[in-house]
């Protein structure tokens, strides 16, 4: 018989059988696993790219939503215009993107409770009428708080976001927020695979803030389109149809059905070591 103190006052195993610990968490020898929430994204979108230029920002993302390695949905638009000063680009889980889009929708409805004048849309007489419109910077702060709250609850929204547009001073604004609640800002940003493949190219175009202030809109769009092409060459979760948006003082210009042009797969010949190639 066990005379050690841990057995004092307990039912004796030889009479009552061993203690049944299954209701306890696994750390105490039971069968219960800890509560878990989202552990991985399900249907996903790949990279989002954005680049600041002298008077605005350009952003792009392809129209594919993958289910694992399956190209499941091919008409998914991952750039969501918030108002005429801000666009959000979504990488990562598509259902979480839908949740955030609904959140932004209700935020927009609330924003319009107070500023629903027909005049302001047509420019208005005073410049001040437009001023309270939520800026991209305001929107980024808000989304970053949402993302951080969710990760702190151990229930992250599995996305990498780029928020682009104009800030309170109507200057070009570009910043990211991700599932960890991390925020970052730079003249060029890319999420997902793009962070590895497109960002070096974009940094060659705008090495710093000063360079982005000199960059023309045409050059910026061209650079982004070039990066989308490189991503399509090398990212197996990408597609040749994509959305691209430009935000500047004139508002948002969004095109959701762009196709990659002037592709050149000549380099593919030289790649060795994959599939059934033997030479």
Partner 1 sequence: MTSIGTGYDLSNSVFSPDGRNFQVEYAVKAVENGGTAIGIRCKDGVVLALEKLVTSKLLKKDANKRIATVDRNAGVVHSGLLPDGRHFVSRARDEASSWRGTYKAPIPGSALANRMGAYVQAYTLYNSVRPFGITAIIGGYDAETELSVDGAVGNGPKVGAGGKTQGVKEGGPFLYMVEPSGLYWGYYGAATGKGRQAAKAELEKLKLDPKEGNCISLEEGVKEAARIIYVAHEDSKDKEFELEMTWISSMSGPTKGRHEEVPKALREEAERLAKKSMEGEEEEEEKMEG
Partner 2 sequence: MFRNNYDNDSVTFSPQGRIFQVEYAQEAVKQGSVVVGIVSKTHAVLAAIKRNAEELSSYQRKIIPIDTHYGIALAGLASDARVLSNFMKQQSLASRLTYARPILLSDITARIGDRAQTNTQHYGKRPYGVGLLIAGVDARGPHLFEFQPSGVTVECVAGGIGARSQMARTYLERNLDEFENCGREELVKHALRALKDSLSQDKELTVENTSLGVAGMEENFKLYEGEEIAGWLETTFENKAEGETGAEGGEGMEVDT
Render 45-72 in DSSP notation, one character per residue: E--EEEEE-SS-EEEEEES-EEETTEEE
- Tokens in use for 237? 């979760």
Our finding on whether 112 is near partner 1 (CB under 8 A) is: yes
Confirm whether 38 is a catalytic residue: yes
| Catalytic residue, candidates 22, 35, 38, 44 | 38
Partner from partner 1, partner 2, none binding residue 116, C-beta < 5-8 Å depending on class:
partner 1
Rule CB under 8 A: is residue 106 a binding residue for partner 1?
A: yes
Angle at 49 between CA 45 and CA 54, to 5 degrees: 155
Residue among 80 and 229 whose Cβ is closer to partner 1: 80
DSSP symbol at 116: -
Q: Determine which helix (DSSP H) or strand (DSSP E) holds 19, and give its type and residue range.
A: none
Pick the closer one to partner 1 by CB: 73 or 193: 73
Residue 62 Cβ vs partner 1, minimum distance, rounded to whole Å: 13
138 binds, among partner 2, partner 1, none (CB under 5 to 8 A by kind): partner 2
In the complex with partner 1, the residue whose CB is nearer, 211 or 254, is 254
How far does CA 236 lie from the centroid of its chain? 18
Which helix (H) or strand (E) segment holds residue 205: the answer is: helix 199-205
How many Cβ atoms sit within 10 Å of the Cβ of residue 78? 27
Q: Which does 168 bind (CB under 5 to 8 A by kind): partner 2, partner 1, none?
A: partner 2
Q: Which of 55, 66, 83, 138 binds partner 2 (CB under 8 A)?
A: 138
Residue 73 CA to residue 21 CA, distance in Å, equals 46
Asked if 122 is part of the footprint of partner 1 (rule: CB under 8 A), the reply reads: yes
Residue 32 binding target from partner 2, partner 1, none, CB below 5 to 8 Å by type: none
Span near partner 1 by CB under 8 A; candidates 108-116, 167-175, 229-237, 241-249: 108-116
Q: What angle do CA 221, 79, 181 make, to 5 degrees?
A: 110
65 vs 139 by CB, closer to partner 1? 65
Find out whether 141 and 112 touch, Cβ atoms under 8 Å.
Answer: no
Closest CA relative to residue 194, chosen from 42, 46, 40: 46
| Residues 94-123 contacting partner 2, CB under 8 A | 114
Where in 123-194 does DSSP place strands (E)?
Answer: 159-166, 172-178, 183-185, 188-190
Binding to partner 1 (CB under 8 A): which residues in 201-230? none
Q: Single out the residue of 279, 235, 229 nearest to residue 258, CA to CA.
A: 229
Sole window of 74-82, 171-179, 237-245, 246-254 interacting with partner 1 (rule: CB under 8 A): 74-82
In the complex with partner 1, the residue whose CB is nearer, 43 or 205, is 43
| Binds 196: which of partner 1, partner 2, none (CB < 5-8 Å by kind) | none
Cβ burial of 118 (10 Å; 0-12, 13-18, 19+) is exposed
Chain contacts with partner 2 (rule: CB under 8 A): 114, 128-129, 131-132, 134-135, 137-138, 141-142, 145, 168
Catalytic residues: 38
Chain contacts with partner 1 (rule: CB under 8 A): 65, 73, 75-77, 94, 97-99, 101-102, 105-106, 109-110, 112-113, 116-119, 121-122
């Amino acid at each position: 018989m066990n005379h050690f103190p841990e057995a004092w006052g307990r039912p004796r195993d030889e009479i009552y059988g061993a203690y049944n610990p299954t209701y306890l968490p696994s750390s105490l020898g039971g069968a219960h696993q800890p509560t878990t929430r989202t552990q991985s994204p399900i249907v996903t979108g790949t990279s989002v790219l954005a680049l600041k230029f002298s008077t605005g920002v350009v952003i792009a993302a392809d129209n594919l939503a993958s289910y694992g390695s399956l190209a499941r949905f091919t008409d998914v638009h991952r750039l969501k215009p918030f108002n005429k000063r801000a666009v959000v680009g979504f990488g990562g889980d598509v259902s979480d993107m839908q949740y955030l889009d609904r959140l932004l929708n209700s935020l927009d409805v609330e924003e319009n409770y107070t500023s629903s004048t027909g005049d302001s849309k047509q420019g208005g007489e005073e410049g001040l009428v437009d001023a309270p419109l939520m800026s991209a910077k305001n929107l980024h702060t808000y989304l970053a708080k949402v993302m951080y709250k969710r990760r702190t609850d151990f229930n992250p929204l599995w996305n990498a976001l780029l928020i682009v547009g104009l800030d309170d001073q109507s200057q070009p604004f570009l910043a990211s927020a991700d599932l960890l609640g991390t925020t970052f800002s730079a003249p060029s940003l890319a999420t997902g695979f793009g962070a590895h493949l497109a960002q070096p190219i974009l940094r060659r175009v705008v090495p710093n803030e000063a360079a982005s202030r000199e960059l023309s809109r045409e050059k910026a769009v061209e650079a982004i389109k070039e990066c989308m092409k490189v991503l399509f060459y090398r990212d197996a979760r990408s597609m040749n149809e994509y959305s691209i948006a430009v935000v500047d003082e004139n508002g948002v210009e969004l095109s959701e059905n762009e196709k990659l042009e002037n592709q050149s797969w000549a380099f593919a010949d030289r790649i060795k070591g994959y599939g059934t190639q033997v030479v």
